[in-house]
C-alpha cells in the first residue's frame, strides 16, 4: 500500500496547483510541493529496511493471463532513484516559482511536472516489466508536454516532437525486448527475471533481446547515435532541463541498464554493445560541449558525455564498475542540476544564454558565480568535490578490462582524453561567463542577483557536492551500499570511499586530464577555427527529412493497401497467408512459444492448401462476382475444418 501511495501521490496532486493558481504564484507552488513532500516522507520511512538490504514487493493480480500484474518493488536501487526524483523535484518546484514569468500558466506547468514525476516513480518502483513499460511510455508523453510547454515557440515544438519520436521509437523496441524476456523466462516479474540470468544469456534469442532492450535504453539516455534529441530539448524552460535532463528522464535508460544488469550482463555481447556505445558517447559529448555557444547547449552535451561515462562503466562487466556507475549517477545529478539552475538564473537576469555576450558576470552576481564555479569544478573532477571521487573510480575500472586484448589501452586513453575535454568545457563555462571582460549587448542590463529563494535549491545542491566530496562515506556511504546491493542482487564487491588512495595510475590519469584540459582551453581560438572548418550536420534538418520520408512511405503503403479494390485486398491476404505458412516451416517457428500444436499428416495439409489456393485464385480472377462469392465459401469451409473440434470429428 505504501509503495502504491508513493507513486499515486504526484498523480493525485496534479489538480492542486491548478486549483490554487488563482490565489497567487506562491500558493500554486506550495500546492505543487505538497504531494511530492508527502511521498518523500513516506519513502524515507522505508529507509531503515532498505539500508538493511531488504527488498519490499507488493503484488496484486491485474491481467495474469497476459503476465501484467500491479507489482511494485522497493530495493536500494529503486530507493536511490525515487529519492533523486522526489528530492530534486521539490527543489525544482521552488526554483520554478521564481523562474517562470507572470505570463506563464504556472498551474499547467506544475500539473505536467507532477504527471512526469509520477511516471518516473512508476518506472523505478515497478516489479513487473510490462507495468514498468507503461510508466516508461508515460514519461515520454509527459516530457513532450514539458519540453513543449512554451508552445508559442517553434523551437520548443520541434524539440518536443523530436524527443517524443526518438524515445517513443525506442519504447517500441523495448516492448519487443521485454516480450522476448517474458518468452524466455516465462514471467515478467523482476524477481524471476533477475534470477534467470544464465537462462537468458544461454538462449538463442539473447542477442536479439539485448539489442532491442538497448535500443530503448540508448534512445532514452541520449546515447550515440540517438544523442541529437537532447540538445534540441533545451528549448524547454530551465526548470524542466534541470529535472528531466540531469536527474530523471535521461537517467531512466541507465536505470534500466542497472536494473537488468544481473539478467543481461556478463557476456561479450553486453561488453561490446554497451561499453563501446558509452565510450563513443563519452568522447563525442565532451568534444561537442566545448564548442557550444549556448549555455544550456554546453550543459546538454556535457550531460550526454556523462551519461556515456555511466553507460561505459555498466558495460565494462565489472561489479566495481557498477559501483562507480551508481556513485556517478548520484554525483552527476547534484552538480548538473545545480549548473542548469545557475544557467537559468543567468538567462533570467540577462535575457540571453549566448556565452559570447554574457561575460563578466562575477561583478554583477558574485554569489551565483561562486555557486556555479563550485559545481563546474565538481563537473571537471577537481579534488575535494564529489565529481573527483567517482571519476577516480571510473579511471581505475577502465584499467581493469581485458576483453580488448592488445588494444586494452584504448578505453583508458579515450577516457582520459574525454576527461580533458570535460575540464576544458568546465573552464569555458567559468571563464567566459563570469570573467573574460564586460558583457556585450545584453537584453537586460545591468544584470543582478535573483530573488533570494531562487538560489536556495542551487545552494543545497552545491553544498552536497562539497560534503560528498569531503565526507563521502559519511554522507552517501549507506545510500550507495544499498543501491549497489539492489543493482547486483546482493552480490556487493569490496570498495573504498576514501578521498586519498595514494599515488597511482588513476591519480596520474586525473592529473593528465586536468593539465590537458587547461591546454585545450588555452588553445581554444585555434580549436574553434578547426571546428568551424568541419562540415556541419543539422540534426533538426536530418530529423525533419526522415520524418518527411516516413510520412511519404506511409502514404504510399496506405494507398497500396486501402484503394477500394476487393481483388487487391484478397491478393494481399493470400500473400500474407503464404508468408505465414512459410514462416511456420522455418526455425523461427519456435517463437510460437509453448502452445501445443495439433499434429496433421502431410497429405491432409497439402490437400487443404491446394483447395484453399485454387479457391482464392478463382475469386481473384473470375469475372462473375456471384461465382467468386460461392467459391470464397470454400475457403471459409477450410477455416471451419481447421478448428480443433472439427478436426477431431473429421480426422480422428
Q: What is the pLDDT of residues 55-97, one digit of tens each?
A: 999 988 888 878 888 999 999 999 999 999 999 999 999 999 9
DSSP summary character for residue 235: G
| pLDDT digits 0-9 by tens, 614-644 | 777 776 666 666 666 676 666 666 555 555 5
493-526 burial code (b ≥16 CB/10 A, e <16): eebebeeeeeeeebbebbeebbebbeebbeebee
Residue 355 pLDDT > 80: yes
Q: For residue 110, what are the CA distances in angstroms to 31, 33, 251?
A: 9, 9, 21
Q: CA angle, 633 as apex, 632 and 639 as ends, to 5°?
A: 105
| pLDDT digits 0-9 by tens, 149-198 | 999 999 999 999 999 999 999 999 999 999 999 999 999 999 999 999 99
194-206 burial code (b ≥16 CB/10 A, e <16): bebbeebbebebb
**pTM for the whole structure:** 0.88
Q: At what angle do helices 154-185 and 539-561 cross, to 10 degrees?
A: 60
Asked whether the beta carbons of 233 and 245 are under 8 A apart, the reply is: yes
360-372 burial code (b ≥16 CB/10 A, e <16): bbbebbeebbebb
- Cα(512)–Cα(29) distance, integer angstroms: 46
Residue 648 pLDDT > 50: no
**If you write DSSP's letter for every residue of 273-337 in order, what string do you get?**
IIIHHHHHHHHHHHHHHHT--BHHHHHHHHHHHHHHHHHHHHHT--HHHHHHHHHHHHHHHHHHH
The pLDDT, as a whole number, for residue 595 is 55
The pLDDT, as a whole number, for residue 502 is 82
- Cα(75)–Cα(195) distance, integer angstroms: 15
Residue 497 pLDDT > 80: yes
- Cα(175)–Cα(259) distance, integer angstroms: 16
| Residue, of 98 and 66, whose pLDDT is higher | 98
Extents of the domains making up the chain = 277-522, 563-650
| Residue, of 83 and 574, whose pLDDT is higher | 83
| pLDDT digits 0-9 by tens, 405-443 | 778 888 999 999 999 999 999 999 999 999 988 888 888
Amino acid at each position: 500500500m505504501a509503495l502504491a501511495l508513493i507513486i499515486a501521490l504526484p498523480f493525485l496532486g496534479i489538480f492542486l496547483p491548478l486549483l490554487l493558481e488563482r490565489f497567487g504564484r506562491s500558493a500554486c507552488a506550495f500546492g505543487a510541493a505538497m504531494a511530492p513532500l508527502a511521498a518523500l516522507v513516506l519513502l524515507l520511512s522505508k529507509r531503515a529496511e532498505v539500508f538493511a538490504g531488504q527488498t519490499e514487493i507488493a503484488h496484486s493480480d491485474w491481467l495474469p493471463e497476459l503476465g501484467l500484474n500491479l507489482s511494485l518493488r522497493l530495493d536500494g536501487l529503486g530507493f536511490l532513484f525515487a529519492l533523486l526524483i522526489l528530492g530534486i523535484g521539490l527543489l525544482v518546484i521552488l526554483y520554478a516559482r521564481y523562474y517562470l514569468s507572470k505570463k506563464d500558466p504556472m498551474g499547467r506547468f506544475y500539473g505536467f511536472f507532477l504527471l512526469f514525476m509520477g511516471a518516473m516513480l512508476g518506472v523505478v518502483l515497478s516489479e513487473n516489466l510490462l507495468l514498468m513499460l507503461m510508466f516508461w511510455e508515460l514519461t515520454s508523453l509527459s516530457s513532450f508536454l514539458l519540453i513543449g510547454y512554451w508552445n508559442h515557440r517553434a523551437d520548443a515544438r520541434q524539440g518536443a516532437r523530436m524527443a517524443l519520436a526518438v524515445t517513443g521509437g525506442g519504447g517500441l523496441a523495448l516492448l519487443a525486448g521485454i516480450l522476448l524476456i517474458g518468452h524466455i523466462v516465462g514471467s515478467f516479474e523482476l524477481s524471476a527475471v533477475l534470477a534467470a540470468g544464465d537462462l537468458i544469456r544461454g538462449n538463442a534469442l539473447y542477442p536479439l533481446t539485448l539489442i532491442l532492450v538497448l535500443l530503448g535504453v540508448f534512445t532514452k539516455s541520449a546515447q550515440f547515435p540517438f544523442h541529437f534529441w537532447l540538445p534540441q530539448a533545451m528549448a524547454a524552460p530551465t526548470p524542466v532541463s534541470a529535472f528531466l535532463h540531469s536527474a530523471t528522464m535521461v537517467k531512466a535508460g541507465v536505470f534500466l541498464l542497472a536494473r537488468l544488469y544481473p539478467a543481461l550482463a556478463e557476456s561479450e555481447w553486453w561488453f561490446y554493445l554497451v561499453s563501446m556505445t558509452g565510450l563513443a558517447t563519452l568522447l563525442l559529448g565532451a568534444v561537442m560541449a566545448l564548442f557550444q555557444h549556448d549555455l544550456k547547449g554546453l550543459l546538454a552535451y556535457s550531460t550526454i558525455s556523462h551519461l556515456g561515462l555511466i553507460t561505459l562503466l555498466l558495460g565494462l562487466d565489472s561489479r566495481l564498475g557498477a559501483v562507480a556507475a551508481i556513485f556517478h549517477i548520484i554525483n552527476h545529478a547534484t552538480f548538473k542540476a545545480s549548473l542548469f539552475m545557475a544557467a537559468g538564473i543567468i538567462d533570467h537576469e540577462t535575457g540571453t544564454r549566448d556565452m559570447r555576450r554574457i561575460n563578466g558576470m562575477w561583478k554583477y552576481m558574485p554569489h551565483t558565480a561562486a555557486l556555479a564555479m563550485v559545481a563546474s569544478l565538481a563537473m571537471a573532477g577537481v579534488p575535494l568535490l564529489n565529481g573527483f571521487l567517482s571519476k577516480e573510480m571510473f579511471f581505475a575500472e577502465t584499467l581493469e578490462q581485458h576483453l580488448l586484448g592488445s588494444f586494452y589501452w584504448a578505453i583508458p586513453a579515450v577516457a582520459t582524453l574525454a576527461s580533458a575535454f570535460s575540464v576544458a568545457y568546465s573552464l569555458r563555462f567559468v571563464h567566459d561567463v563570469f570573467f573574460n571582460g564586460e558583457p556585450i549587448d545584453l537584453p537586460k542590463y545591468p544584470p543582478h542577483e535573483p530573488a533570494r529563494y531562487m538560489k536556495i535549491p542551487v545552494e543545497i545542491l552545491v553544498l552536497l557536492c562539497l560534503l560528498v566530496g569531503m565526507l563521502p562515506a559519511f554522507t552517501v556511504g549507506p545510500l550507495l551500499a544499498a543501491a549497489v546491493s539492489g543493482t547486483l542482487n546482493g552480490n556487493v564487491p569490496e570498495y573504498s570511499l576514501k578521498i586519498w588512495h595514494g599515488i597511482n595510475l588513476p591519480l596520474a590519469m586525473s592529473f593528465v586530464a586536468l593539465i590537458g584540459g587547461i591546454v585545450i582551453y588555452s588553445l581554444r581560438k585555434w580549436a574553434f577555427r578547426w571546428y568551424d572548418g568541419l562540415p556541419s550536420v543539422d540534426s533538426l534538418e536530418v530529423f525533419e527529412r526522415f520524418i518527411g520520408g516516413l510520412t511519404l512511405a506511409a502514404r504510399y503503403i496506405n494507398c497500396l493497401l486501402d484503394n477500394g479494390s476487393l481483388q487487391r485486398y484478397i491478393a494481399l491476404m493470400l500473400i500474407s497467408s503464404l508468408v505465414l505458412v512459410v514462416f511456420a516451416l522455418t526455425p523461427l517457428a519456435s517463437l510460437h512459444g509453448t502452445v501445443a500444436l495439433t499434429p496433421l499428416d502431410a497429405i491432409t495439409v497439402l490437400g487443404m492448401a491446394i483447395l484453399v489456393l485454387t479457391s482464392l485464385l478463382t475469386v481473384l480472377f473470375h469475372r462473375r462476382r456471384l461465382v467468386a462469392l460461392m467459391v470464397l465459401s470454400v475457403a471459409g469451409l477450410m477455416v471451419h475444418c481447421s478448428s480443433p473440434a472439427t478436426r477431431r470429428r473429421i480426422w480422428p
